[in-house]
Chains A and B, each alone.
Chain A
Amino acid sequence: MSIKRSLLGVSFRVIHLMVLFFLFLGFQAYAVDPEVPDSEDAISAGQSIFNANCKTCHRLDQKLIGPALRGVTDRRELDWTKRFILNSQVLVQSGDPIAVELFEEYNNTVMPPMDFLGEGELMNLLAYIEYGDKAEPEAAAAAGDAAAGAEGGSAGGIPSEYLTIILVVLVIVLILVLVVLGLIVSVLTKYMNNSDKLDAEDKEFINQKTDYLAILKSDGFIVIVTTIVLAFVVKTAVDGLYTVGVQQGYAPSQPIAYSHELHAGQYEIPCQYCHTGVEIGKSANIPSANICMNCHMHIQNVGGQEGISPEIAKIYAAVDNDQPIEWVRVHNLPDLAYFNHSQHVAVGGVECQTCHGPIEEMEVVYQHSSLTMGWCIDCHRNTEITTRGNEYYDKLVQLHSESKDALKVKDIGGLECAKCHY
């Protein structure tokens, strides 16, 4: 049921967004220079050039380190655009007003010369800039929503807050029933006392008081109370023990106030750009300072401010003094557990966020998941394996084809000790 709900949710959102998108397009009408080719080949060739050379600083429809590029042939002369791409600094130094203005607007960031691009390649690049990936940002947003929807839906049939409300209502109803019953009893007692048909024995019975002290001292009561107290203590102790060594929410302050929100969220730098080991090795790798310098060679401050930001200056200090930056580890697995990033990311296709949470929203990184063995095992019990297109699993898929159940990690030994402990 929940899946249906979330699917419906997704499709509604998608439609909603698409409507918005078309409206948006309507307002953004502009004239592309007619010389720019619009063939599929040119666009795809241009895309690979763009991805290789421009994507670090530019997006088509979004201002990043450099301006959003779509519509550039409308805004500028075609010839000027080409010259700017080939070597912007030549234009700036020649005093071209538009170029100088742009240069200053973007914090004097030098765009590396692209003079290795040929005429044809330039036109392909412009083709991509103008015609390429129109649905890109919207589709991504839709996919993100879909993921969010799925996550919300997967919690179960009834959300937990409803359960609490139902419980509270039930308790209120029970109390009301008790009050009503008490009233009935007192009314009946009064009525009976007023009645003449009763003998003394009956009266005594009606007016007898409950002996609460006796109840308190009774064995049954003591046993029940002791059991409850004991159960409570044991439960607290066990829960407490389960949290030993669990550092969920651990958010140590780092030597550099690096913000994932800014880099991964706002600028959408792919995780793998810095965490180079994530698809090839056990460790995802904390990026070395030279990777920071790829961008921070040019970007010296945040938000277009003048001068060098003190945080970014720490990278420069590290590089100058050849002193590595000593980051504080956030995710600490015990030595006895073997975890391999590439198995999960490259083979299993698990998103970074599945374990690390909304990293693109974290100003300071914290440990999102509990990283307990129970947490690992739960995922291994429920996750299906992506076997398609991977010859490694062919034999297994064939053997499993008779079974109706999906092939999950647990079915290929994902719950076995020596998968993680050796």
Chain B
Amino acid sequence: MKENKKTYWKGLEQLTNDPEFVKHADQEFPGFTSKKNQTEDGGSSRRDFLKMMGFSVAAASLAACEAPVRKAIPYVNKPVDINPSIPNYYASTFSSDGNYASIVVKTREGRPIKVDGNSLSPITQGGTNAIVEASVLSLYDKARLTGPQINGQPVEWPALDAELGSKLASAGSIKIVANTILSPSTDRAIRQFAERYGDVELVTYDPISNYGITRASEVYYGSNILPSYHFDKAKVIVSFGADFLGSWISSIEFARQYSKGRKISKENPEMSRHFQFESNLSLTGANADYRTTLTPSQSGLAVLSLYNMIAGKAGAGSAGGSNLDLPHLARAADELWANRGNTLVVSGSNDPNVQVIIHAINELLGNTGTTVDVENPVYFRKGNDRRMNQLVSELNAGKVGAVIFYNCNPVYDFGGGQSLAEGIAKAKVSVSTAEVKNETASLVQYLTPDHHYLESWNDFQPKKGSYSLAQPTITPLFNTRQAQESFLKWAGNSISYYDFIREDWQALYESLGEGADFQSFWDKCLHDGVYLAGEAEGTEEDATVSATGDIAAAVSAIGQTYQAQGSGAELAVYAKVGIGSGTFANNPWLHEMPDPISKATWDNYLTVSQKWAMENGLEMKEGATKMANVSANGVSFTVPVLVQPGQAEGTFGLALGYGRTAAGRVADGLGVNAYPLLDASKGFVSYDITEGVSVSLTEEAYSIAQTQTQQTFMGRDFVIQEATLDEYKEDASAGRYHPEIYKDGEFVKPSKISLWSGHKYSMHHWGLAIDMNSCIGCAACTVACRVENNVAVVGKQEVLNRREMAWIRIDRYYSSPETANSYKELEKAADNPEVTFQPMMCQHCNNAPCETVCPVVATTHSSEGLNQMTYNRCIGTRYCANNCPYKVRRFNWFKYHDNKDFAGVNMAQNDDLGKMVLNPDVTVRARGVMEKCSMCVQRIQAGKLAAKREKREVKDGDINVACAAACPTEALVFGDLNDNNSRVSKMLKIEENSIEAIKEVNEERAYHVLEEINVNPNVWYFTKIRNKDKNEA
């Protein structure tokens, strides 16, 4: 640690020691006024106190008079497998706009309440992300359509079918618009529909397009495939703007793979090296070992330069084009070549020309077949931007008779949405199957709402040879109908979609020729949720893929498009980890989740570099910023500015997914819509705007609700402990800080001195190990925790007031070798900082400072090492929060449930529909009580009870906390520290058979945050190891 002279900072205001910030920094809740101003002087008077007292007495005596009659209503005919209070789990599949996750849905009394990852899936392997975790709330969204409509008038299904059937028959050319369809049965249903009506075409597009890759494959491999990538097999990863941990293609899968290559131990001290070249600081860039900023206009040349360098090493000729000299690029080329065959180069560009070069680089490096699998392509994002663009003009030319929007919203999330909106009216018949009357659906004549995915049957083929099923987990809440069934109905086939899928699977089963009988094959697949076909299985598109090696056209196109020196401001449009494409924007859980990088909630903003901010005299303090006028691609809007360390000079970033106008109460009118900026005129949707961008700062003040500068660690530098890989190889405890305390003439470990007599845990000792090397900061855990524990959503204003309620947060620290005493230094420090993520939740201290200060003993220690919070005992003094060194305790400043002031944001606790998502095993907290992470005590209790009932010991893995279960990288490991065989004990190398609370941990990387104060947490962190040379930022 001595050599580590880095400065860690959570926000620029902390780095500069801004006096305003410092003034508030030591207060968890600075003296902001509350939501409702009380008296003029801000406090409450003695009279108020007496009034309140009088009222409480009256209320108490009234309440005592008579208890309300409560009913117990059993089923009339109880289904065999539903037992009240016992959860059922169903394997299913989440898929939306080309994304895919195999999931397990937890239901209680027939209501889905939680989505977990399905560990049987070979693709997502039990991982989830924030969007998948939050998707259960969209089932209970009030904005959902409750039945079919014709021109805004509710109708019955038979009436609609009859009218629409005759209209479609006479419509002529029918176009079905959809996002990528992963489902073979849906495909077949649409084919049946097409057979019935003749002139039917399916046009697919994706809100976040990867058309560039499929188009490049067509050019380079002669087949429009999207290859499978294997980040786990790559020793060197080079990414040009591909946010593969956040939003690129299959981020859950990639996060899992990536973390496999990054987990290290003394036995296996090797990890992958990751180079990132990008303009916005993405989640992936934040995890890179070497990150280089570049402008979007340079990106094509950077890829080409890398190709030329590698071609030079390989003895192949340079492809020409001007070469770009970027930091770390030559080094990346060297290492790629040294590890050829086990490397991976990817690009987030949607430009097919750039992707052709990427294919060529991987081919040169011999990665095809190892890390890039073109033989087993994925089917995630097959959208065709070019075709979609043509459709928009066809619609406007009045050439389309009928257009059916199958679960998509192109008016909002396609670049040419505005023009499409005008074109819809020109079609004779327009239909939408969307669940919500969204931007597109509100323009069509026929609304035929589909079931929510948790109410539907479906099947999926995400990858060649890999299948999965989705099954309903609740009876449809509304008078909706599965869209596939609608297509079949209109095709004159009244079969249920369930039977229809079974027909397909029967055929699949017969083609496999294995297993006992179809029913047991089906049951097994339905139970597992996934089915992996063996190698032998051949599909119709099983042509061998071989590289043509022709890149000349691409090289010349790149030469024309990109340049080494940008001419002006450039804008890179990106997708956030939480909001993504905006399909699920009406989900308050996703808005309340702080963005992993900017830590901003509830907003869309223009990210600008520190240099630009200084040039324009903008100083951003704790979310207080200004608005800017932006115009690009003929679109102008005003948007708040956020100073983002690591933003490439001369570039700006803006996220997709905001500015919804017909999504529902939560999302409507929030932020600006970036889709109109996207230009599809070049034959692909371009997310980079390199010309004609103008940004001018206005004087209008604005506040962005950031959580990042809250809960500061007050200059205690050893919260984050890190080392480089070389240091680690020399000394496994590299980067560790070993505080010592002087006592009786010698220095001893803090744990040797204690005021407390110490606990003993005779049965269990629950603990959590967090590997900061695996944590990528994706925040899936924070959403999972919110769902599991009924954590309230408080909305933007209350986040600004520093009152957000999340039990687990991910602290994001920037670090750089420079401190910032002057403006010039600040600019340098913020130019391209390193980033570290640290999940922070209640540390369940064995010497808990909160427990000793509670005047009413509402927070106590359990005999299993948990720090317990008893809401019904708490009187809200907040002493505990003041005394908590980790600032993880949350106070209920308001009653967030059944409160119309919060109904707009706290959807899950305010209306009957939303409340169906609540976990019945966890209390919804009242106003005036403290709350915090309970280490999912309800799951611990349930797991123990199951073991007791089965008269056995608790097996490791029986119990898992929600955050650890959601983690796609297995960065969090939960278990019993008393159990020598548990994963967490082995990770921490706890040798002794000890029942003491304070255990000897022999893993060199493991440390306690703030060890010097000897609160002795049950949560351990593992040092962050970066695979880079010493003395580099």
Contact = CB atoms under 8 A, between A and B. Distances in A.
Contacts of B84: 277, 281-283, 285
A391 interface: yes
Interface stretch (A129-137, A259-267, A341-349, A376-384): A341-349
B317 to A, nearest CB: 68
B864 A413 contact: yes
Given A290-B77, A399-B762, A327 B863 contact: no
B77 A289 contact: yes
Contacts of A318: 76
B85 to A, nearest CB: 4
B75 A413 contact: no
Contacts of B716: none
Contacts of B954: 392
Nearest to B935: A418
A209 interface: no
Contacts of A340: 941, 945
B934 interface: yes
Interface string B50-77: 0000000000100110010111111111
A23 interface: no
B581 to A, nearest CB: 37
B496 to A, nearest CB: 23
Contacts of A421: 868, 870-873, 923
Q: Number of contact residues on A: which range applies?
A: 35 or more
Given A286-B74, A347-B949, A392-B948, A417 B868 contact: yes
A156 B86 CA distance: 41
Contacts of A288: 74-78
B64 A245 contact: yes
Most buried by A among B71, B864, B995: B71
A244 B85 contact: no
A289 to B, nearest CB: 5
Nearest to B85: A282
Contact of B78 (A280, A282, A291): A291
Nearest to B857: A417
B806 to A, nearest CB: 18
Interface stretch (A32-40, A144-152, A221-229, A331-339): A331-339
Contacts of A204: none
Interface in A264-319: 276-277, 279-283, 285-291, 318-319
Given A277-B84, A421-B870, A422-B923, A325 B73 contact: yes
Contacts of A161: none
B76 A289 contact: yes
Contacts of B717: none
A217 B841 CA distance: 66
Given A281-B86, A285-B83, A417-B873, A422 B937 contact: yes
A322 B77 CA distance: 8
Contacts of B866: 418
A3 to B, nearest CB: 28
Contact of A324 (B74, B934, B945): B74
B763 interface: yes
A283 B873 CA distance: 25
A326 interface: yes
Interface string A237-273: 0000000110100101000000000000000000000
Contacts of B934: 418, 422
A154 B708 CA distance: 61
B699 to A, nearest CB: 50
A214 interface: no
A175 B763 CA distance: 61
Nearest to B69: A328
B936 to A, nearest CB: 9
B70 A290 contact: no
B947 interface: yes
Nearest to B926: A336
A105 to B, nearest CB: 33
A392 B951 contact: yes
B72 A347 contact: no
Contacts of B85: 277, 281-283
Given A328-B71, A399-B762, A418 B953 contact: no
Given A336-B871, A422-B922, A325 B74 contact: yes
Q: Number of contact residues on B: which range applies?
A: 35 or more
Interface in B858-908: 858, 860, 862-864, 866, 868-873
A324 to B, nearest CB: 5
A392 B945 CA distance: 10
B851 to A, nearest CB: 11
A396 interface: yes
Contacts of B951: 389-392
B71 A244 contact: no
Interface string A384-396: 0000011110111
Chain A contact residues, majority secondary structure: loop
A396 B763 contact: yes
Given A396-B762, A399-B995, A413-B863, A346 B949 contact: yes
A274 B418 CA distance: 62
Nearest to A399: B762
B952 interface: yes
A323 to B, nearest CB: 7
Most buried by A among B69, B73, B871: B73
A412 interface: yes
Nearest to A422: B937
A416 interface: yes
A235 interface: no
Contacts of B995: 399
Interface in B73-114: 73-78, 83-86
B942 to A, nearest CB: 9
Given A324-B76, A395-B763, A421-B923, A413 B70 contact: no
A197 interface: no
A332 B76 contact: no
A342 B73 contact: no
B26 interface: no
Contacts of B48: none
Contacts of B868: 416-418, 421-422
Most buried by B among A276, A288, A334: A288
Nearest to B924: A335
A250 B67 CA distance: 10
B921 interface: yes
Nearest to A282: B85
A324 B76 CA distance: 5
A329 interface: yes
Nearest to B109: A283
Contacts of A412: 762-763, 863
A416 to B, nearest CB: 5
Contacts of B921: 282, 338, 422
B938 interface: yes
Contacts of A282: 84-86, 921
Contacts of A289: 74-77
Contacts of B944: 392
Contacts of A276: 78, 83
A75 interface: no
Most buried by A among B78, B85, B934, B953: B85
A97 B74 CA distance: 44
A144 B67 CA distance: 35
A288 B78 CA distance: 6
Contacts of B60: 244
Given A391-B953, A416-B862, A421-B871, A347 B945 contact: yes
20 contacts: A245-B63, A285-B74, A286-B72, A289-B76, A322-B76, A324-B73, A326-B73, A328-B71, A329-B69, A329-B70, A336-B871, A347-B945, A392-B944, A395-B763, A396-B762, A396-B763, A417-B858, A418-B870, A421-B868, A421-B873
Given A286-B74, A288-B74, 6 more contacts: A285-B83, A324-B74, A326-B73, A390-B948, A392-B954, A394-B953
The 9 A-B pairs with the shortest beta carbon distances in the complex, nearest first, are A282-B85, A418-B868, A288-B78, A288-B75, A417-B870, A413-B863, A281-B85, A244-B64, A329-B70
